[in-house]
Amino acid sequence: MGEKDDALDDNIRVWIGNLGRYNEGTLQGEWISLPVSTQKLDDFLVDRVGLITNPEEAFERGMRGERVYEEYFIADYEYGGMLEEIGFRPHEYANLHDLNALAAVASDMDATERECLRMYADDNCVTGARDMAKLAYVIHDEGDMGGYFSYAGKDTSPYPDTQAYLDSYYQDPMNRYVETVYPEESLEKARELLEKAGFGDLAANIDKAAYAACESYLHSGYLELGEHGYVETSMNPPDFDHVDFIDVEADYLPPDYTMFDQSPAIDNPTIADRQAAIDQAASIPAQGGPAQVKGR
């Protein structure tokens, strides 16, 4: 796992609408940026979307003959930044709390982890927000990246013309893969052995031979190339079946936790900040979990 890139987008923006009012011909809703605390999300659904999130209150109002709205839908989302990096498109009736948990985990991931998540989600048809959150949890918190490996570092040059050539060279992910699996030291040893054996022509073209070998491996289906790393498809993917979603929420969205609410107390939260908040939340007597509001 590499260091977090400050340039990464750490939000998922979705427009949430009141499904009941929409069916009645009225559009009520608003944009929200995830992740937020569970409390703030529930408040948003009540104050901005016009839902009743408390089942008992909804029942009592219904018994009095009042019109009760309990369902929402995702009418729009911004496919860019985090969503594009992890390759996820929320379904119209996706569970917003599941999507919030996915945003919470993904916001803590670096670029290579997000790419690993996207590549394995694509390969294994992981499409639900809850399963995506669990897969992200395994990759980031348990360090299981399956057969995904990061590329070796890029060469740099103080000379603008040379650096421009290197930038162009590294745009081809195959060049990065070749340099990773066939580092220059290995190629140099191969050249020496070939020259000693009298195969000067082969020694001179060792770079082309390495590229051709890797290209053949790619076309065979045993290799997938990304921007930051590659996947050896013959290796087992990260296993998230053992993950309990409750654990994901407990680690990233514990009760009364405001890490994602722009709280002045935590301007730039660290892992230590999160653990302190979790410990504090754990000391509070349980008074029932957050209201469960589900899309259809």
Query: Over the stretch 92-109, which tens digit does the pLDDT of each residue have?
Result: 999 999 999 999 999 999
Residues 6+ apart with CB under 8 A from 77: 12, 13, 14, 15, 83, 89, 90
* Residue 184 in tokens: 């220059």
Q: CA 78, CA 50: separation in Å to the nearest integer?
A: 23
pLDDT of residue 264: 36
Residue 241 has pLDDT above 50, yes or no: yes
Cα gap 188→172, rounded to integer Å: 22
Report the pLDDT averaged over residues 176-190: 90
SS3 state of residue 75: strand
Structure tokens at 60: 């009592």
Mean pLDDT, range 115-119, rounded to an integer: 97
Average pLDDT in the 213-233 region? 94
pLDDT greater than 50 at residue 292: no
pLDDT the model gives residue 283: 53
Confidence of residue 216 (pLDDT cuts 50, 70, 90): very high
- Of the chain, the percentage scoring pLDDT greater than 90 comes to 68
Residue count of the chain, please give it: 296
In tens, the pLDDT along 135-154 reads: 999 999 999 999 999 999 99
Proportion of the chain above pLDDT 70, given as a percent: 83
Q: Where are the domains of the chain?
A: 12-114+130-143+239-282, 160-232
Asked whether the bond before 173 is cis by omega within 30 degrees of 0, the reply is no
Structure tokens at 170: 């590294």
For the cut 80, the answer to whether the pLDDT of residue 272 exceeds it is no
**pLDDT for the residue numbered 288:** 40
Alpha-carbon separation of residue 56 from 51, 52, 174 (angstroms): 13, 9, 59
pLDDT at 34: 95
The larger pLDDT score, comparing residue 44 to residue 295, is at 44
- pLDDT mean across residues, the chain: 85
- Could you tell me which of 100, 76, 101, 64 has the C-alpha nearest to residue 17? 76
The H or E element spanning position 98 is: helix 96-106
Residue 192 pLDDT > 70:
yes
Confidence of residue 64 (pLDDT cuts 50, 70, 90): very high
Confidence of residue 46 (pLDDT cuts 50, 70, 90): very high
Cα(first)–Cα(last) distance of the chain, in Å? Answer: 37
Whether 72 and 14 have beta carbons less than 8 Å apart is answered as no
Q: How far is CA 185 from CA 176, 178, 192, in A?
A: 15, 13, 11
Q: Could you tell me which residue, 190 or 15, shows the higher pLDDT?
A: 15
Q: Note the pTM of the prediction, 2 decimals.
A: 0.79
